[in-house]
Structure formats: C-alpha cells, structure tokens
Amino acid sequence: MKLSVRIFLTAIFVSSLMALSPWAQPSASKQDSAGHGASCAHDPSWTAPQKPFRIYGNTWYVGPRGLGVILITAASGHILIDGGVPGGAPLIEANIRSLGFNPRDIKWILNSHAHCDHAGDIAQLVRETGAQVIASAADSPLLARGGLDDPQYGDRLPFPPVQVTWQVSDNESLRLGDLVLTAYSTPGHTKGNTTWTWKSCEGARCLQMVFVGSLSAPDFKLVNNPNYPLIVKDFKRSFKMVENLPCDIALAPHPGMVDFWERFDKREQGTTDAMIDSTLCRAYAKDAREDFEEALAKQRRAAASSR
Ligand SMILES: [Zn+2]
Ligand SMILES: [Zn+2]
C-alpha cells in the first residue's frame, strides 16, 4: 500500500474512533492526586528533573520528580518499569547513564498501565535500547492504540503506540537472568492496570519491593460505563489485592501516592530505614477505596434521581 493511502486510512480510523468515543470532550481543570488532567504535559512535575538515586539494593529511581520510573539492575541485564510522558525518554536515559548504567543493557520495559504519563515514551525507549515490552494482556490493545479510545479519557491523552512483546497475566512470575518479578492484575484504573513486585537485597537483607498500580478513579465514569461495564467489580478486587500484598518498600507511578518523597527526605536527613514501611501499600489501598466508594455512591444517587 502506498504511504499516502496508508496515512489517509489511518486518519479515517483515528477520526472514527474519536467520533465513537463519548468522553472525547476535553475537560480543563480535571485533576486528581494522580495528576491526570486535560493533556499529558499539564503537570510540570512530570518533566521536572530529579537526580537519580538508589532506592534499595538493585532498585533505582530514574524518573522525573513526579513520575515513578524504576530501574532494576543485574549483571544479566536490567529491567525498567514505565516510560514517562511523550518526549520524556532523554531525561530517563540521562538519569540511567549518570548512575553508571548503559540504557542498552535494559532488556525489558514493563508497564504499569496504558496512560500517557506512564507509557508515553516507551516506544522511543524501545528504539534506543532494543528492549522488549512486557505488559498485561488487558492493557496491550490500549498500548497498541497509543491510548486512544480509553474507557475514561476517550482520545484526549494519546501517546506514541507501543507494541507489547509479551503479555502477562495475574500472578505470573517472570525471570530475566538473576531477576524475578511477579505481576498482579489490579484493574480498574485501566482494564490491565498491573502491580509489579520483586525482591531487592543489601547483603543478607532482602526486602519486598512493590510498584503499586494506580487505584485512583479521578472523575471516572463508574456507573453505566458501556466501555467498561465491570469497572466497579475490578476496582474492588484490586483494593483487596493491594491491601494484602507483602510490601516492605512501596513505589508507585506517582510517587506521592505512597509518600515517597517524605520518606526519601527523612532518609537524606539520616533515618537510614525511612524508605521501609510495610503499612504503606495497605494505607494507599484503603484511602483509594474510601475515595472510590464516595464517588460511586454519588454517581449511583445521580443515576437513580435521573431515572
Ligand atoms: Zn493513569
Ligand atoms: Zn498517572
């Protein structure tokens, strides 16, 4: 097929997706603590430089200030979790290099969920590292569509499409040389939202690391959502899942979800173990559940009164 014809057909496909999407209208000022708003560039912390550092053992923070992008290293090859906003790859790669690692040693890029602030530059990172992309089966189509036709955001938050190499399912463990990670499905925020866990060690002390999936539902349509009929059931399952995970060091797509910078500051001030707090996954899930129940009750009342 000629390139011009292909571009034309792609344009038709994209515009028909937009026409089908009931939530395609931009809504300004719609933000939550997770920071989702009207565009993928609206939150300055998502591109704000942050000096990279060791979180614990072979786990490193390599993201901008406002997005948890995590590098897990081993002599057999590294793993990166999430890829920031579109255009965010140079900052992430520079952070990795400044720690003394080579981005080309990244073998896998894992994704927490298919939104532009976490999958936004995975395509670019793949081009530059040659890494394979691993994500849940349920989020793979949304990654391949570059975020278009999202059950909540419609076509408002697109990003360069990502082709997933391997799809993981709930409770599946993956091994890359010396690294073993386990994926837990925590759907709701997206249909394939995933929590990743692994162990990192310093000497004989090994801790359970958890990159907890987003459990927020900022202005989400929870009642009568034809694009995601099972959303309430999924969220409820995910709250329970995260509440019960062994969790020594909680990490998150948005560091503020798990008080990351407060803990980091305490450690900088000399409290050596300040990053370690086994209550934080549970606390995050509990808070998210309360916000969710409140929003759900409100939407159910509104739906009942409009009948
Ligand atoms: Zn999100
Ligand atoms: Zn986000």
Distance 273 CA to ligand 2 centre (A): 27
Q: What is the dihedral of CA 277, 278, 283, 285, to 10 degrees?
A: 130
Contacts with 10 (C-beta within 8 Å, 6 or more apart), sequence order = none
- The tens digit of pLDDT for each residue in 41-99 reads 789 999 999 999 999 999 999 999 999 999 999 999 999 999 999 999 999 999 999 99
Element (H, E) at 297: helix 280-305
Q: How far apart are CA 165 and CA 146, in angstroms?
A: 15
Q: How far is the CA of 137 from the centre of ligand 2 (A)?
A: 19
Q: pLDDT higher for 306 or 179?
A: 179
Band of the pLDDT at 38, cuts 50, 70, 90? low
Q: Which ligand is nearest to the CA of 117?
A: 2
- Domain 40-305 fold is Metallo-beta-lactamase; Chain A (3.60.15)
How far away, in angstroms, is 40 Cα from ligand 2 center? 9
Question: CB neighbours (10 Å) of residue 71?
Answer: 25
Instruction: For residue 84, report the distance from its CA to the centre of ligand 2, in Å.
Output: 9
pLDDT of residue 8: 34
Helices 280-305 and 231-243: angle between axes, nearest 10 degrees? 160
Chain CA centroid to CA 136, Å: 12
pLDDT for 35: 42
Structural domain boundaries in the chain: 40-305
Asked if 188 and 195 count as a contact pair (C-beta separation under 8 A), the reply is: no
For the chain, the average pLDDT equals 89
Residue 36 has pLDDT above 90, yes or no: no
Q: How far is the CA of 214 from the centre of ligand 2 (A)?
A: 7
